[in-house]
Amino acid sequence: MEYNKILYGSKHWPGCGPVKEFLDKNNVDYTYVDITESMKNLKEFLKIRDTHDVYRGIRGRSMVGIPMLKIGEEIILGPSEEMLLEMFNKA
């Protein structure tokens, strides 16, 4: 089953660029949501960040938690290139 993929990030956070570049380079079909582009985008991200258990430690340290890749209902925080290679079978 193919799930929608959404990458939440910001052009102002250097950790987001490599994930976005990987997805683009490998022709992964995804939607990019820049959380600093609009209040709507920020609220969409915060709704996930403030309610999902995977963010418990992030919230407790007053961190933002991007980049975040959402595939269906699965949340992946700060995916490394190795994780992305495995997830998208690009090894």
The number of residues in the chain equals 91
67: left (phi > 0), else alpha (psi -120 to 50), else beta? beta
pTM above 0.85, yes or no: yes
Neighbours of 58 (CB within 10 A): 17
pLDDT in tens, 2-54: 789 999 999 999 999 999 999 999 999 999 999 999 999 999 999 999 999 98
Cα separation, 12 vs 52, whole angstroms: 24
pLDDT digits (tens, 9 = 90+) for 62-73: 889 999 999 999
3-state SS, residue 68: strand
pLDDT of residue 74: 93
SS3 69: strand
